[in-house]
Amino acid sequence: MSTKRSKILSAALILFCLIGLFPEGSASSRAVLAKLEKRPWAKIPEQWLTRIKAIQELRMSWIVEIPADLMDDLAAAGFACSLLDPEPEGKSYFLVSAPDPARRELLRNFGHAVFLDDDVSLFWTDDGREAREILPAYFELKHLSRDIRIPLGLTGSAVAGMRQGPEKISEPFPLDPLITEMVAQVAKSNLITDISNLQDFQTRYASTVNCQNAGNFLYSYFTQLGLACEFDLFSFSQYTSRNIVAKIPGRTAPEREIILCAHYDSYSSNSAATLAPGADDNASGTAAVMEIARIMKNYTFDYTLKFICFSAEEFGMYGSRHYAQSARAAGEIIAGVINMDMIAYADVLPEDLEVIVNPNSDWLALQFISAANRYAPLLTNHVVNSSITGSDQSPFWDQGYSALLGIDDYPVRNPYYHTTLDLLHTLNMDFATSVTKASLASAAELAQPSGGAVRPALQPPSGLQARSRISSSLFSSVKSVFLTWTAPPGSIRGYNVYRTTTSRSGYQKINSSLVTQTTFSDFFLNPDVWYFYVVTAVDDQDRESNPSIEVRDDQNNASWIQ
Partner 1 sequence: MIRITRRGFSERTLLRVGMILCAAAFFVHPLHAGPNNPPARLGLSLAAGAFRANQAAFRDLYGNVKASWNIGAQARLFGNAAVIAGFRSIRTSGATMIAAPPYGNEHHPLQFGMSSLKLGGRLSFPLRRWAVFVDGGGSYNLSHEKWEDTDLSVEAKTFGYFAGAGADVSLDRRLSFFTRIEYSFVDTGKGARLEPRVNLGGIEASLGFSLRF
Shortest distance (Å) from residue 532 CB to partner 1: 19
Query: In the window 372-391, what residues touch partner 1 (CB under 8 A)?
Result: none
| Of residues 421-480, those binding partner 1 (CB under 8 A) | 469-478, 480
Nearer to partner 1 among residue 249 and residue 527 (C-beta): 527
Cβ at position 524, least distance to partner 1 in Å: 5
**Binding mask of the shown chain, residues 249 to 268, with x at each position contacting partner 1 by CB under 8 A:** --------------------
Stretch that binds partner 1, among 273-281, 329-337, 368-376, 519-527 (CB under 8 A): 519-527
The count of C-alpha atoms lying within 13 angstroms of the C-alpha of 122, restricted to the half-sphere facing its C-beta, is 24
Per CB under 8 A, the segment of 103-111, 260-268, 278-286, 553-561 that binds partner 1 is 553-561
CB of 513 to partner 1, least distance (A): 20
Shortest approach of partner 1 to residue 467 CB, angstroms?
8
The distance of Cα 367 from the centroid of its chain, to the nearest Å, equals 14
Kindly tell me which of 330 and 561 has the beta carbon lying closer to partner 1. Answer: 561
Do 466 and 533 form a contact (C-beta atoms < 8 A)? yes
Give the x-and-dash track for 289-308 against partner 1 (CB under 8 A). Answer: --------------------
Task: Please name the residues in contact with 550: beta carbons below 8 A apart, sequence gap of 6 or more.
Answer: 503, 504, 532, 533, 534
Closer residue to partner 1 (CB): 233 or 470: 470
Decide whether 325 or 557 has the Cβ nearer to partner 1: 557
* Closer CB to partner 1, 126 or 475, in the complex: 475
Neighbours of 240 (CB within 10 A): 14
Residues 343-372 binding partner 1 (CB under 8 A) are none
- The nearest distance, CB 519 to partner 1, in angstroms, is 14
* Inter-CA distances, 369 with 118, 408, 437, Å: 25, 14, 12
Smallest gap from residue 527 Cβ to partner 1 (A)? 6
CB 521 → partner 1: shortest distance, Å? 9
CB of 530 to partner 1, least distance (A): 14
Give the binding range for partner 1 (CB under 8 A) out of 98-106, 206-214, 453-461, 520-528: 520-528
Cα–Cα distance between 130 and 302 in angstroms, integer?
42
Closest CA to 98 of 357, 417, 408: 417
Binding residues for partner 1 restricted to 102-161, rule: CB under 8 A: none
Q: Looking at beta carbons only, is 30 or 469 nearer to partner 1?
A: 469
Q: How far is the CB of 474 from partner 1 (least distance, A)?
A: 5
Q: How many residues bind partner 1 (CB under 8 A)?
A: 17
Binding mask 480-499 for partner 1 (x = CB under 8 A): x-------------------
Distance (Å, whole) CA 52 – CA 350: 46
H or E stretch including 484?
strand 477-486
Task: Indicate the residue among 409 and 553 with the shorter CB distance to partner 1.
Answer: 553
CA distances, 25 to each of 31, 52, 86, 161, 251 (Å): 12, 19, 17, 43, 55
Burial of 160 (0-12, 13-18, 19+ CB in 10 A): exposed
Beta carbon of residue 153, minimum distance to partner 1 (angstroms, whole number): 23
CA–CA gap between residue 274 and residue 265 (Å, rounded): 13
Task: Say how far apart CA 555 and CA 332 lie, in whole Å.
Answer: 18
527 binds partner 1 (CB under 8 A): yes
Residues 6+ apart with CB under 8 A from 226: 297
Q: What strands, in cross-sheet order, belong to the sheet with 532-539?
A: 508-509, 492-500, 532-539, 551-552
Amino acid at position 237, single letter: S
At position 121, the amino acid (one-letter code) is S
| Coil/strand/helix, residue 361 | helix
Q: Which of residues 84 and 466 has its CB atom nearest to partner 1 in the complex?
A: 466
| Residues near partner 1, by CB under 8 A | 469-478, 480, 523-524, 527, 557, 560-561
